[in-house]
């Protein structure tokens, strides 16, 4: 998959299909809120396996039931690429909280 950076218009259009994802500081960002820590951790494990399979790893934080994910491509100077959109779509498909 290409590491060519995407124009803001292309990112904005792609976000229409990614509920609650935003474009902030050169990254795709979303906060997921789960019922408890166990659910949050389960989600992170599922995402981890998919990210590893894609060889594209998120920047994320977890505090109790909250997981914040930030995606951009380091090989593209920390900008958003198709790799980030593909991983965001995969993450969205794994989420049961929206």
pTM: 0.93
Give me the domain span that covers residue 64.
8-94
Domain membership flag for residue 16:
yes
Domain membership flag for residue 89:
yes
22's CB contacts (< 8 A; 6+ apart) are 15, 28, 29, 30
* Predicted local confidence at residue 3, as pLDDT: 76
* Predicted local confidence at residue 2, as pLDDT: 61
pLDDT tens figures, 48-97: 999 999 999 999 999 999 999 999 999 899 999 999 999 999 999 999 99
CATH of residue 49's domain is: 3.30.1360.20
**Total domains present in the chain:** 1
Domain membership flag for residue 25:
yes
pLDDT tens figures, 2-61: 679 999 999 999 999 999 999 999 999 999 999 999 999 999 999 999 999 999 999 999
């Amino acid at each position: 998959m290409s590491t060519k950076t995407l124009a803001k218009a292309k990112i904005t259009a792609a976000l229409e299909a990614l509920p609650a994802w935003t474009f902030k500081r050169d990254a795709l960002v979303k906060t997921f809120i789960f019922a408890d820590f166990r659910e949050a951790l389960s989600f992170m494990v599922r995402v981890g396996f998919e990210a590893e399979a894609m060889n594209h790893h998120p920047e994320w934080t977890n505090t109790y039931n909250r997981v914040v994910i930030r995606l951009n491509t380091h090989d593209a100077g920390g900008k958003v690429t198709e790799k980030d959109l593909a991983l965001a779509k995969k993450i969205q498909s794994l989420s049961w909280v929206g």
